[in-house]
Chains A and B, each alone.
Chain A
Amino acid sequence: MTVLGIALYALIGGGALLALARLARGPSLLDRVVATDTLLVIISAGLAVHAALVRDPTLVPVLVVVSLLAFVGSVSVARYIGGMLLRSRTGDGRDVGLPVAAEERVNGS
């Protein structure tokens, strides 16, 4: 493994680990959706980097599948959360979410 390969895998692995940290910590469901979307994109970038380093074109159809899967997953979860809406209306046009909102959590602490 060359220096270039080590540097590439370190950058992509660091990004994937940080996205996993946000996926585990994220206070709301939407943070996790964003982190999952980014993680799938980073995974597809890692697959493309592997395919480019070893000159192996077998992984190229997998890239198409992974990018399709990222879109379908994030859109379906976002539609699901939007469909969970929320009988409790405050009258100001915003919906009170079930998880703790970021605004009140930061102001309260």
Chain B
Amino acid sequence: MSALADVIAAACLLAGAALCLTAGLGLVRFPDVLSRMHAGTKPQVLGVLLVMVGAAIRLDGWANAWMLLLVAAFQLLTAPVSAHLISRVAYRRRHVRRDLLLVDEFGGAGHQDLRHRGDEPGDAPPGSPRPSAGQSS
């Protein structure tokens, strides 16, 4: 029983570590921010889940298992939020290779709201007073 648990834990840890190496390779090889983020998000969800399962099998005891489950749940909750923020800023700062995009639903010329482009303070219409206008100009 213990040997079988050790084998399962070792398999989970190896898969998680291989996903970490995959993330590094993708970060170096891929061309722009969005595809690098696609590569870097692999250990953020599946890799961390596999490593936490392996560690929870090895560290027997419910207190450790609950705390590792907390780490995994927190990763699952926070990875989409940070990825959304980074990709939105990357699109607007033109760090996206537009020649590699198949569909660009966000930048079509036809259906674009010219008055309110987003919810940032810099996205206000040009005539309206901005909170940071007095400081920067």
Contact = CB atoms under 8 A, between A and B. Distances in A.
A complexed with B: yes
Interface of A: 4, 7-8, 11-12, 14-19, 21-22, 28, 30-31, 33-35, 37-38, 41-42, 44-46, 48-49, 51-53, 55, 57, 60-61, 63-64, 67-68, 70-71, 74-75, 78-79, 81-83, 85-87, 89, 92-97, 101-103, 106-107
Contacts of A45: 16-17, 20, 43, 47-48, 51
30 contacts: A4-B10, A11-B20, A15-B17, A19-B27, A22-B36, A30-B33, A34-B27, A34-B40, A45-B20, A45-B48, A45-B51, A46-B20, A48-B51, A48-B54, A51-B55, A52-B55, A64-B70, A67-B78, A70-B78, A71-B82, A74-B86, A82-B85, A85-B121, A86-B122, A94-B107, A95-B122, A97-B95, A102-B33, A103-B98, A107-B99
Nearest to B47: A45
Given A44-B71, A51-B55, A22 B28 contact: yes
Interface of B: 9-10, 13-14, 16-18, 20-25, 27-28, 31-33, 36-37, 40, 43-44, 47-48, 51-52, 54-55, 57-59, 61, 63-64, 67-68, 70-71, 74-75, 78, 81-82, 85-86, 88-99, 107, 109, 112, 114, 117, 120-123, 126, 136-137
- Mostly, the A contact residues are helix
A20 to B, nearest CB: 9
B88 to A, nearest CB: 7
Contacts, number: 221
A53 to B, nearest CB: 8
B24 to A, nearest CB: 3
